[in-house]
Amino acid sequence: MFSRAVAVCSRFSVYSYTAIPRIIPRAVAPPSQNSLRHFGWTRPCRSPAVLAHAPTQADIEADEEFSDSELLPAEEAKLNITDAAQQLRNISVREQDEDVSLRVLVESGGCHGYQYKLELTSKRHHFVRPPTTPGRVGVVVDPISLSLCDQGSTIDFATELIGSSFRVQNNPQATGKGCGCGVSWDLKARTITSAELITPHDRTTLARGAIRSLTTTMPTVPRTSPATLNPVPEHYIHTTAGQFVDAAGRVILLRGVNLAGSTKAPVDRPTQYQDVWDVAEAGGESFVGRPLNLDDGSADIHLARLRAWGFNCLRFIFTWEALEHEGPYVGKYDYEYIQYTIRVLRRCKDFGFRVFMDPHQDVWSRFTGGSGAPFWTLPACGLNPRHITATHAALLHFEQPDPSAFPAMVWSTNYARFASQTIWTLFFAGRDYAPRCVIDGVNIQDWLQRHYINACGVLADAIRDAGDLYDSCIIGWDSINEPGEGYLGLHDLNVIPPHQSLKKTTCPTPAQGIRLASGIAQTVENWAFGALGPKRDGYVTIDPAGRTIWANPDTEEDVGDGTGDRIHKRWGWRRAASWPLGKCIWALHGVWAGPDVTDTKSGDIPILKPDYFERPPFDPSRHVVFVADYWRPHFRDYIARIRPSHPESIFFVQPPVFVQPPPLEDEDLCGRGAYSSHYYDGLTLMTRHWNWFNADALGLLRGKYSSVLGALRIGERAIRNSLRDQLGMLKSDALEILGQYPTLIGEIGVPFDMDAKRSYGLDGNSKYVGDYTDQTRALDCSLNGADGNNVINWTLWTYAPDNTHTWGDGWNLEDLALWSMDDANRDRGTQEFQIESSSANLLNGENQDSRNRSESTLGTLRGPAGPADAQQPRPQMDMSLKPTCASPDPASPVGISADKLYDFVVVGARGIGALARPWPVATVGTPTYIDFNIAKATFELKIKVTGSDRAWGGKAPIRSSLSDLGEDDEELSTEIYIPLVHYAADSAFDGESLPNCEDAPGLPKVTEEPPRYRDDDDSTVVGHLRQDSKSSADSAPAVKRRRATTTTLRRQRADTTNTLIPILPIPSSEPTATSASAAASPTTLPIPLSAQSIMGTLVESDMLALDVQVSEGKWELDGQVLRWWYDVPGEGEPEKELTIKVQRRGGPIKGVLRGFGAISPASAAREGGRRFWDVLCPNGGCVVA
């Protein structure tokens, strides 16, 4: 998961008074009345505080912020305020500031040029407050913003289906209706010159301007690799102009999921499992079976589900522990796991996923409260892991008296505890700060990094040797996940670092952690985390009772050669005599004197060098810059090991969360890079509650605000805008520092166990069982931040096939998985169901009798497990689908009938309405704006198209294996994912018009000559997709048409009238055959999945009901993909902006926002749909998808 991203929400507390430097923009004169062109991403300069009273001349002269400001008279500064604005009183009282004010800002941005922002502030000098009714919370505004609101605007607080927010209405300066987001609007007959708008001190604004300038025009795509200079194949993905770009020149958006969160531990070893140390000391366990089970057929079901959700990218999780758990021996790797991983990756390829590899870790290791490194790295660092809990060196889930009561997100506080801080310091900077720590002839830094990098390299070599995965499937490698900074850069070990914002339960200073590790009792601060962030809650005395984390010297024996070196009896390394075991390494290096053996009661042994880690020894004149001094050299060594195995790898740059990346040289990335920062809504993650207020956490960390109140955001609309701004800031980091590389948010997500797990009924109240409204709103808010003008790639955290309501993702009680078996089985209670033969068996014709099956392939579907099940492995469930029609081709894969497909997509899913959202997967031109309204099921996309955007090569880089297209294929289309979840036709629920098996062919047919179609550039083409209509040509006539003057728009498409939808793809690497005896009912027919298509879908076009408006061109549906063709400007012709709007014909589907588990059978019948479990679990038995 993440550390700093969680931590920043703690700044959202009235109890935090840390001074933070801020960027102060210089104000300029109000905008002129001239009609001049407005430059989109720069914003009107404004004073950064608020108007509370007219400043004196002395005030103005004392503060240069306002030296150039023109302040309006108080009588002119009038805004209307409705009664609803009194909502602010609740917040102001909580903050113990009765005179808090609502600040109204106007800035340029949004989709219509200008947008409002509203935030709370308590700063009340230098300004004029607009008159308001006495006793109400005031509204303040700077003069520039006021000039764009003018007199007569009204501040209101409104509540909608997807949230509440403050808003500005009746602005006499605005024209038109604005956009669907509700905050963006056009300025009436007056705009601002770029000279008036640009704020030199606002780096974020300038960086976002750079984003737009980079992404408005797609450059010519090279036909050779920038890394190897080899010709690029059709499946190649470039990283250029801030975008992922396919070999044909289309902009590619990669959106998907982390697979899988449960991969952090071996199968059946979740973190609450308490029998840990003996197994670890014996060499650990194999991770075979992670992330998916290939042997029972369930992997195919999970991958099919992810493709049906529209995902095309996987961040593939593996750990160092999984590769090298048996010990630090030469060549001793788990090759069985490596080969299993290759098999899983091939299956991911079969389903059309692009993959990048994630060497995952959290707070170093499973044995320090997280995941990643093998057990033996701890004794190698001189530690005794069995004393971690006693010394509070880390909080371990498996050593809690009641694992079910482990506090939410408390694991991330381990980054600020002794074990993690010490090991990360050794890993990144042992040579500088622990030079006496030598093992096997090298410093511990080199020893640890060598083992870690070589383990990753062994996996990279094996994938290379597989021969069929790199570039066509695996496109790159992420850097080490969320690295810790240890003690590096700390100014004073005696105080809690100012940047350590996350405080929960015990919170020792670094010095106290060092003393505790040596067995010395300490009285430390205790912190509680509430709705307003962390609050100190007294003090706690921790007494290790003399136990120390330092390993017993008897675990090693003298080499006997007179050097004094010692050999470890179990693991075999040779520790230098300069590193005596059993003594604190920081005492060894003079940071402190170490414990006084004659005084075991004193807890205040002084730290001799409190600033020991503040400055790098190689340049003591300056402070440590972690990412440049220590992270970057490691990243370069990692690249040097991986690149020979994967020469075309895209290297994903992931420094610590929310820390800007360091500059990199051209030879580091070789034109093959991406920025993979993580982002979470920290307040929601920590409180497990969807709040009606939030904070600009990233802006607060970056010094944008002088106080927490300035970062506060009230109402869902303001929160959505804030998250979009923060994600835009992360995107600007890549372009401003790394260069023209794309941004992919490697982790983003929300917890589903909100409000004491009330959606599961575990809060003792069944009222909200199956209701995921708040979770869906929270997830939509985060993903909406990646839309708008940001147009950002992402991989959600997470998918965990074995998620349960009781134990979540099986790791530290986190519960962020998008799918849960307990949700799929919720309404069956404890009733047992017979599991049918697996899809894998069906493919192989193995209709085994249940008596011959192993226990692992038989499962009983039950309700959620209770606490008594903490130590029991979860049943391995055989998740399969009955074939419902005899296949005419023995090689055809198993499928699911069309009337059950909607159920397959939503069963067990959480937040499905937010995660399955429309987006442009491949764009001819550059997508500049995306908007999806989850409540209305409306989608809008804007594309900038220039003469250089014409796709070359004619042929799709990854074309469907079912399409036998020739060399003269026409230009490629823009491809948009249209989720069945939001846009399903009624037939998806009632199963109407399903053809008989004998009437359906085995494969889609290809027509020879589809209709040709043209329209004027300024016209709007409106199409209504009915049950028997799949394209604009089949729908209502266009408004206008004209003869073509450029390339003819045409394509060949398959006749997709079949109705049995495939669950398994046509394997590209491990072919299997389906027995003719795998019989089914005589109602539907299987259609193979286009396995090699990056746009592969599982949906019939007739299952969608759409109203589509395009500003130009022709569109057609191909499953869940809408393909859109339009003219690209010719040479010398101006660029143009194209728009497509999509909505569901008949209005949004009820239940999507809540989650379908909240709908009772009676209400489902009244609302015109069946509950999905009624389809998948009939009275005769249950087939689980």
Task: Please name the residue that has the structure tokens 């993580």.
Answer: 678
Residues 123, 126, 131, 134, CA torsion sign: positive
Task: Identify whether the C-beta of residue 816 lies closer than 8 Å to the C-beta of residue 749.
Answer: yes
Task: Please name the residue that has the structure tokens 């990643």.
Answer: 372
Task: Identify whether the C-beta of residue 738 lies closer than 8 Å to the C-beta of residue 673.
Answer: yes
Residues 6+ apart with CB under 8 A from 582: 382, 550, 551, 552, 553
Distance, CA of 1062 to chain centre: 28
Distance, CA of 763 to chain centre: 28
- Please confirm, yes or no, whether 992 is among the known catalytic residues: no
Pairwise CA distance, residues 89 & 318, whole Å: 49
Tokens representing 930 are 């995306």
Half-sphere exposure in the Cβ direction for 756 (13 Å, CA): 7
Pairwise CA distance, residues 692 & 364, whole Å: 35
Residues 6+ apart with CB under 8 A from 262: 270, 290, 291, 800, 801, 802, 803, 809, 810, 811
DSSP label at 975? Answer: E
What Rg do the C-alpha atoms of the chain give, in angstroms?
30
Instruction: Indicate which residue of 119, 321, 482, 975 is catalytic.
Output: 482
Task: Please name the residue that has the structure tokens 């290790």.
Answer: 544
Largest CA distance in the chain: 98
Instruction: List 164's β-bridge partners, or say none.
Output: 159
Task: Identify whether the C-beta of residue 943 lies closer than 8 Å to the C-beta of residue 974.
Answer: yes
Pairwise CA distance, residues 836 & 827, whole Å: 19
- Please provide the size of the chain in residues: 1185
Residues 6+ apart with CB under 8 A from 594: 518, 583, 584, 587, 605
Task: Identify whether the C-beta of residue 743 lies closer than 8 Å to the C-beta of residue 731.
Answer: yes
Task: Identify whether the C-beta of residue 885 lies closer than 8 Å to the C-beta of residue 1081.
Answer: yes
Pairwise CA distance, residues 978 & 882, whole Å: 27
Pairwise CA distance, residues 785 & 790, whole Å: 8
Task: Identify whether the C-beta of residue 901 lies closer than 8 Å to the C-beta of residue 988.
Answer: yes
Instruction: Indicate which residue of 119, 716, 747, 1116 is catalytic.
Output: 747
Pairwise CA distance, residues 654 & 358, whole Å: 10
List of E strands, 737-863 = 744-745, 793-799
The amino acid present at 1, given as its one-letter code, is: M
- Please confirm, yes or no, whether 482 is among the known catalytic residues: yes
Tokens representing 537 are 């809650």
So which residues are the catalytic ones? 482, 747
